[in-house]
Structure 1
Amino acid sequence: MKVSVDEDKCCGAGSCVLAAPDVFDQRDEDGIVVLLDAEPGEHLHTAVREAADVCPAAAIMLADRT
């Protein structure tokens, strides 16, 4: 799995951090998403998919590794 984020779309809700704190964080100054791991291990895939699903701004994109 390859994860990418669109910081311009991010509204700073923090849902991704709650769902997958090993993969996402937020900047202190404005709450915008920070991607900690662009290729998380398989054990995190379910949490990352949940984070993408609950993102109110649809700022998280997921792709299969090829």
Structure 2
Amino acid sequence: MGVQLTIIDSEYDFFWKFRDVLLLNDAYRGEYDELKRKFDGRKMDDYRQAKNEFFQKIMNSSEFNNF
């Protein structure tokens, strides 16, 4: 389990957008769940790279940018 804390209105105060986009979009949530299953038991660095690519995709989505 991980917990991400940020200061409201700081440059890193955007993690809540990921949460909200995933809550509102079944396809993204399914894709993220599949990514986690795919990398279960594999190298953490590989998972982190794939997760970063996925979150870059989310950050470029209209859903993310409409918040």
Whether TM exceeds 0.5 here: the answer is no
Which has the bigger relative contact order, CA under 8 A and spacing at least 6? 1
Give the alignment's TM-score, normalised by structure 2.
0.30
Give the alignment's TM-score, normalised by structure 1.
0.30
Higher relative strand content: 1
